[in-house]
Amino acid sequence: MPALPTKLPHTGTTIFTVMSALAAEHGAVNLGQGFPDFGADPALLQALTDAMAAGHNQYPPMTGVPALRQAVAAKLNSLYGAHYDADRDITITAGGTQGLITALHACVGAGDEVLIIEPAYDSYDPAIRLAGAVPVGVPMTADYRIDWAAVQAAITPRTRALVLNTPHNPSGRVATADDLQALAAIAEQHDLFIVSDEVYEHMVFDGAQHESVARHPALRERSFLVSSFGKTFHVTGWKVGFVAAPPALSAAFRRLHQYTVFTVHTPSQHALAAYLADPAPWQALSNFYQAKRDTFRTALAATPLKLLPCEGTYFQTVDYSAVSDLPELDFARWLTTEVGVAAIPLAGFYQRPQERRHVRFCFAKREDTLAEAARRLVAGLGR
């Protein structure tokens, strides 16, 4: 057998797969991987059944079902005052991850540098490397804010793009209007593309507003906005998302999209288009998850874990330094095997591990799941 070449020689199995497998092996409550353990709205499931029964089972247009693209364009306009043309500017993708990978391949090439704000979701680094480009990690501040001075200092003549993620996974922080103004100034000064991961756009708490690149004209014209129906409607396994970008960027995106996935599951697209006719489900999402956040934080207050701010997403990061001196991966393994609760170590979100003694819990779970996890944490960690 010839040797198998690889473009990712130093990339192993994602930490989410590792921790979920360990949780299953030890019967732990899985608060690691970010997926709900409750069902979707029966109305959405019925819409899927109806779509299949209506015969929507063959290839849709490469760019996505027109009704779904129109619904996305209308939502972006109503939320952010942004006009995206449904035919030219919206592409339906096989989840947010495919959208991110294809967007990066559309705007960077061999030798280009791409800034990623660390801790960064673990698909960014390999996606950039697969495009032949170089990921450059820029650490956030100690309290998980974007350090714009550090971003500016990291830019070189080879810098081509920056990946923004807000609301931010794993920290739970949310970018402010000032953050996006700072980004716009840097992007214009250095002529950068922006790939904006906004899959948690409808999970922003305490009355704050999600600051999308779509809301800022100077950013909108140079950005690929990536979002996910799976995160919004509790159907992560459907793997349906979208990318919104101005015409020139969309054309470059679609040129690659057609030869990677070509198109996306047809009946799911029709179901989502019908479901989006009522804005109430996504309008209620922030309150829905804020209640879960508050319940979970109240329960964790009975442990020695230090709760870090959670302004958005469905993730709660904690500092466990009062409990253990173990490195983050070792602590996450111990927590799973000995306490019976799985978490994700933040060390896996950096190019060069930063041992802060922080792990991330997912609270997109049923109330009884969160209660059982809290019970185990209180019993296993003490007060």
Angle between helices 266-275 and 42-53 (to 10 degrees): 130
Task: Name the CATH architecture for the domain at 15-40+283-381.
Answer: Alpha-Beta Complex (3.90)
Per-residue pLDDT of the chain (383 residues; tens, 9 = 90+): 888 888 888 887 888 889 999 999 999 999 998 889 999 999 999 999 999 999 999 999 999 999 999 999 999 999 999 999 999 999 999 999 999 999 999 999 999 999 999 999 999 999 999 999 999 999 999 999 999 999 999 999 999 999 999 999 999 999 999 999 999 999 999 999 999 999 999 999 999 999 999 999 999 999 999 999 999 999 999 999 999 999 999 999 999 999 999 999 999 999 999 999 999 999 999 999 999 999 999 999 999 999 999 999 999 999 999 999 999 999 999 999 999 999 999 988 988 777 789 999 999 999 999 999 999 999 999 76
Residue 375 token pair: 């019970």
117 Cβ contact list (under 8 Å, min separation 6): 138, 140, 146, 151, 162, 163, 164, 165, 168
Nearest to 223 by CA among 126, 68, 123, 82: 82
CA–CA gap between residue 171 and residue 360 (Å, rounded): 8
Q: Which residues pair with 196 in a beta bridge?
A: 164, 225
Task: Name the CATH architecture for the domain at 58-279.
Answer: 3-Layer(aba) Sandwich (3.40)
What pLDDT digit, counting tens, does each position of 83-98 carry? 999 999 999 999 999 9
What pLDDT digit, counting tens, does each position of 292-334 carry? 999 999 999 999 999 999 999 999 999 999 999 999 999 999 9
Do 15-40+283-381 and 58-279 come out as alike in CATH topology?
Answer: no
What pLDDT digit, counting tens, does each position of 172-201 carry? 999 999 999 999 999 999 999 999 999 999
Q: Beta strand pairing status for 90-93 and 29-30?
A: unpaired
Structure pTM?
0.95
Ordered by start, the domain boundaries in the chain are: 15-40+283-381, 58-279
CA–CA gap between residue 15 and residue 347 (Å, rounded): 10
- Whether residue 159 contacts residue 115, with contact meaning beta carbons closer than 8 Å, is answered with yes
Neighbour-count burial for 273-306, b at 16+ CB within 10 Å, e otherwise:
bbbbeeeebbeebbeebbebbeebeebbeebbbe
